[in-house]
């Protein structure tokens, strides 16, 4: 229901803005821009789904090996004390716990291509427990908010883009992103716990959050002692080493259990192909609406209004140049990356605006993309309060990113 209203709002606002621009401003070409954007974004949505097919087949195939080899069950037992409190509606020892853990771990390592198929696997398992198949359950919403907050320990993609754009120290945003995304995840998690009446002062939850805070603090301390050129090298090594170790562990577990590893992989890969096809219409619907909203000029109007409001309050508005990335991030990951790259090209890769945009890019996730893909993959139509809480977590991440950038770069 929420996605329905958002989708309609994008089209209606875009239409009104386009009418005003063509009538009052004489910009008749805007209608051509809007239609071109709609066709282009529909093609992009299909290409994304097509690109996901191989990745989904690979990772769901590996997950099937891990499942039959007992690794997923091991991860389920490992995190069941904490996740049992955060997801009280999931039966103890259910394989969904293992899939959720793997997805969250991949997000933390900045491995988007691995995180998506693992998340879709988790969502499918959560749907099996869902008594109302077209309405999002509480565990689904908690899982989605954990995804949209996107706690990231290793923002590899952002550092790669900064290197390509000629930044002197591509990894200088590493610590700001880590701090901002931590606050986003923490506040988002607490907000959903309060909404679902989960006791955040439970000793398991409280001690886990305290432990996570200690780990984040230790990572910050370790990387602050490294030369800038070593930050990207060590973080990239850590992420990829952990990931390949998990893959190797899956295969070794399969050998130990004496399962047919190849057949298990093929079975899981078939599920990946089916999932990729399922999400195409949902992704087309969302990306087309976003593209039309952007092409109509509605996004530029919002940016201009925010700039004027901030300057009227006497607040330093230098960060406003990074707001297109902030506003686009919940809507489109590729659009936000484009805005970030544009900020680096316009202001310089080492400018304050570019650093703010890079921090924002790494501190939040694409809420509407996740809503469309994750819920669409299992046929959820009523997302309840998932979008609102996901956007709230995004807002926290954006504010934290801006404030952190001022601390580190001003």
The one-digit pLDDT tens for each residue of the chain (410 residues) are 556 777 888 899 999 999 998 888 788 889 999 999 899 888 877 877 777 687 778 877 887 898 788 877 777 677 778 888 999 999 887 888 888 887 887 777 655 656 778 888 899 999 999 999 999 999 999 998 888 877 776 676 687 778 878 888 787 888 888 888 888 888 999 999 999 999 999 999 999 888 888 888 887 788 777 776 676 677 667 667 776 887 898 899 999 999 999 999 998 888 778 777 877 887 788 778 878 888 898 877 877 887 788 878 877 777 888 888 888 788 777 667 777 887 888 888 889 999 999 999 888 788 887 888 899 889 898 889 998 998 898 899 899 899 888 888 87
Q: What long-range pairs does 346-352 form, CB within 8 A, spacing at least 24?
A: 346/321, 347/321, 349/162, 349/165, 349/166, 349/167, 349/168, 350/167, 350/168, 350/169, 352/318, 352/319, 352/405, 352/409, 352/410
Mapped onto helix, strand or coil, the DSSP state of residue 135 is strand
- Asked if 320 and 133 touch (Cβ cutoff 8 Å), the reply is no
Nearest Cα neighbor of 136 from 380, 389, 378 is 380
- By the 8 A CB rule, do 171 and 58 touch? no
Q: Is pTM, for the whole model, over 0.85? A: no
How far apart CA 123 and CA 378 sit, in angstroms, is: 7
Tokens 């819920």 found at: 375
For 280: left if phi > 0, alpha if psi spans -120 to 50, otherwise beta; the answer is alpha
Q: Rounded CA gap, 118 and 60, in Å?
A: 7
Task: Check: CB of residue 347 under 8 Å from CB of residue 321.
Answer: yes
Q: Looking at residue 84, what is its pLDDT? A: 86
Q: What does the pLDDT read at residue 109?
A: 62
User: Given its phi and psi angles, is residue 93 left (phi above 0), alpha (psi -120 to 50 degrees) or beta?
Assistant: left
| Phi-psi domain of 199 (left: phi exceeds 0; alpha: psi -120 through 50; beta: other) | beta
Continuous H helices in 200-322: 203-224, 228-257, 261-278, 280-295, 298-312
Please report the pLDDT score of residue 236 as a whole number: 64
Q: Which residues of 167-183 are buried (b: 16+ CB within 10 A; e: fewer)?
A: bebbbbbbbbbbbbbbb
- CA torsion sign, 338 to 340 to 346 to 349? negative
């Amino acid at each position: 229901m929420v996605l329905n209203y958002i989708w309609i709002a994008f089209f209606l606002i875009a239409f009104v803005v386009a009418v005003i621009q063509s009538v009052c401003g004489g910009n008749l070409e805007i209608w051509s821009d809007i239609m071109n954007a709609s066709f282009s974004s529909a093609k992009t949505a299909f290409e994304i789904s097509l690109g996901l097919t191989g990745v989904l087949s690979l990772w769901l195939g590996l997950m099937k090996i891990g499942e039959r080899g007992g690794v997923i069950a091991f991860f389920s037992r490992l995190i069941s004390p904490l996740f049992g409190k955060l997801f009280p509606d999931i039966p103890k020892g259910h394989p969904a716990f293992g899939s959720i853990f793997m997805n969250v771990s991949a997000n933390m390592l900045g491995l988007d291509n691995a995180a998506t198929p693992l998340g879709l696997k988790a969502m499918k398992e959560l749907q099996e427990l869902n008594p109302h198949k077209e309405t999002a359950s509480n565990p689904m919403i908690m899982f989605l908010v954990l995804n949209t907050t996107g706690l990231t320990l290793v923002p590899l993609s952002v550092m790669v883009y900064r290197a390509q754009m000629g930044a002197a120290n591509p990894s200088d945003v590493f610590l700001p992103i880590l701090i901002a995304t931590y606050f986003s995840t923490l506040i988002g998690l607490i907000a959903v716990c309060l909404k679902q009446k989960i006791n955040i002062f439970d000793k398991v939850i409280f001690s886990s959050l305290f432990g996570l805070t200690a780990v984040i603090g230790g990572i910050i301390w370790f990387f602050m002692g490294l030369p800038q050129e070593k930050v990207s090298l060590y973080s990239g090594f850590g992420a990829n080493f952990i990931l390949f170790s998990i893959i190797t562990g899956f295969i070794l577990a399969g050998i130990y259990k004496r399962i047919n590893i190849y057949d298990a992989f093929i079975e899981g890969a078939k599920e990946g192909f089916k999932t990729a096809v399922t999400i195409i219409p949902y992704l087309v619907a969302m990306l087309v609406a976003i593209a039309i909203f952007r092409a109509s000029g509605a996004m530029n109007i919002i940016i201009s209004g925010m700039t004027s409001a901030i300057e009227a309050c006497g607040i330093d508005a230098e960060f406003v140049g990074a707001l297109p990335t902030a506003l686009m991030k919940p809507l489109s990951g590729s659009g936000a990356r484009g805005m970030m790259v544009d900020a680096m090209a316009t202001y310089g890769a080492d400018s304050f605006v570019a650093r703010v945009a890079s921090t924002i890019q790494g501190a939040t996730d694409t809420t509407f993309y996740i809503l469309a893909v994750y819920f669409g993959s299992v046929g959820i139509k009523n997302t309840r309060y998932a979008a609102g809480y996901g956007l709230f977590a995004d807002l926290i991440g954006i504010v934290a990113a801006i404030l952190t950038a001022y601390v580190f770069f001003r």
